[in-house]
Structure 1
Amino acid sequence: MTESTPPQAPSDGYAAALAELQKILDALEAPDVDVDALASHVDRAAELLRFCRERLVAAETQVTEIVAGLEDLATESDTPEAASAADPDG
């Protein structure tokens, strides 16, 4: 697999990728590790790690945008114009 090839995503998403990574790790740490399958296990683990990293970055970006929107909303409600608009007598 080349660096430009997108990682093959597990059908069940991030949690499934982590579970598959754990299975691969367990297989690699076993005393009777199959040397013939070693390279394919490491290659698949690399795909899964890239997939997980992409999902984490996407989630972080989304959370940052949500928090920024909430901060903007809080800032707007703290302005005098917002206070007078909320107070019909003001």
Structure 2
Amino acid sequence: MYVIVVYDVDVKRVARVHRFLRTHLHWRQNSVFEGEVTRSQLYEIKQTLAELIDGDDSVLIYELPRENFNLHVIGTDRNPTGEII
């Protein structure tokens, strides 16, 4: 499945969350990651993020069927992925 992860965490935890997500997903732009993952990888991502964040932090994970979405970039693509979709 394809996922998009968007996070808004306290500045003290941003680097840890960013570093962890980079090990599993492709960084798109500030606080946004995306990529293809298995169910077990998604479970690991959710579990680890729950441990890394605090009560006032927020993480959104969108699960998308790989074949049913299009990406439209308006403006500068901060971190192009080439042919990912």
How high is the TM-score relative to the length of structure 2? 0.30
TM-score, normalised with respect to structure 1: 0.28
Tell me which protein shows more helix as a share of its residues: 1
Instruction: Compare relative contact order (CA 8 Å, sep 6+) and give the higher one, 1 or 2.
Output: 2
More strand by share: 2
